[in-house]
Amino acid sequence: MRVNFAFTTLLLAVFFVATSFEKDSDRDLRAKRVNLIIRQMGHRLLQQAGDSTSRVLPVTEIKEGTFLLRFENEFVFNHDSLMMMSQELLPKTEFPSGYTVTVHDCLKGEIVYGFQLNNTSPDLLACSGRSQPPGCYSIEFAFANFYDDVEPKKAAVDQMAASDSVAPQEVNSKHEKFKSAKVDPREVKPKLDEFKTTTSGYPLINVVYIGILLLLGVTLLIWRFGKILKPVPGQNQKHAVIKESVPELPALGKFLFNGKEQRLLLGSEVINLTDKECKVLELLHKNFGELIPRETLMQEVWINEGVITGRSLDMFVSKLRKKLSRDPELSITNIHGRGYKLEIPERQII
């Protein structure tokens, strides 16, 4: 009985130590991975707003499974763009229990926009097709059952401990039965001799069992520490897949703008641009929301082609407008006699 009790106690101690390291490591890795994805989303939101200088403030886990994304300055964003980014970077296949995204006004503390995505019920997508005016916003990502995958281990340990425990009533009943039992003096000496011969080897067995278990526990602890300190190839590959799935291309409304290959990406659709169209769009995008004089556009785009006319510029702008028309929020505005600017006009709410 003592051997079994010592064996069970030490095994439970080793199991608790090992699983605590594994649980903490898994929780920390999961939180860091989601933190980086949310920060990437903030970077793309600022790019989409034409802001290439403001900082994305550190993402914080304000409570278990809830992350807060904050920005240095005010900015403007489109509701549909935020939802599309969430579906792309935080797919429901990786978060079966779903999550909720809410946008808060920094000054008033009110929720100005939000949506919910999950696999168990229809998604809640409110206020689609609108743009949020410039302001100070923070975005909260709340994941349901975020750390559930590390909790079953604790339940298994509790069940093992419960199965090895002895009820107090059972101990008391056996003790009373032992006290009431009558002992024949003639049987004491033979029983005592038998006890001596059968238990003489127990101390050695105890030492052997405890020594083996201690060696096993130390080996397991060394292996766990080495696994935590040494990079795991599988984890590096997982991060590499995430990095490849989020290309570093500047956002342009609902598009991704690939100036090097002269094309626009809208989901799976590819829109090719000519050399002149790409140069004009690069200048407009670089100065998003600002007026660029006609003379500046013509000099930058046709610098090595001699004399040109303003009509050529108007023709390329017209072609660009047709290709950007797939995003009704995005507009190339003509300031008569002065120049052009690329912007997302605010919608008039009736």
Task: Tell me the pLDDT band of 297, cut-offs 50, 70 and 90.
Answer: confident
In sequence order, which ranges of 230-274 are alpha helices (DSSP H)? Answer: 233-245
Unique residue bearing structure tokens 């003592």: 2
Strands 251-252 and 292-293: unpaired
The answer to whether domain 251-343 has CATH 1.10.10.10 is: yes
- Provide mean pLDDT across the span 203-229: 75
Residue 230: what are its φ and ψ, rounded to 5°?
A: -90, 130
Higher pLDDT, 263 or 151: 263
Higher pLDDT, 55 or 309: 55
The string of pLDDT tens digits covering residues 319-345 is 999 999 988 888 899 888 889 998 987
- Provide mean pLDDT across the span 62-69: 93
Residue 4 has pLDDT above 80, yes or no: no
- Using left for φ > 0, alpha for ψ between -120 and 50, and beta otherwise, residue 148 falls in alpha
Tell me how far apart the alpha carbons of residues 93 and 97 are, in angstroms, rounded to a whole number: 9
Task: Tell me the pLDDT band of 195, cut-offs 50, 70 and 90.
Answer: very low
pLDDT score recorded for residue 1: 47
Classify each residue of 31-41 as buried b or exposed e, where b means 16 or more C-beta atoms within 10 Å of its C-beta: beebbbbbebb
- Provide mean pLDDT across the span 155-184: 53
- Provide mean pLDDT across the span 162-177: 54
Strand partners, 75: 135
Which distant-in-sequence residues (6+ apart) come within 8 Å of 121 by Cβ? Answer: none
Residues spanned by CATH 1.10.10.10 within the chain? 251-343
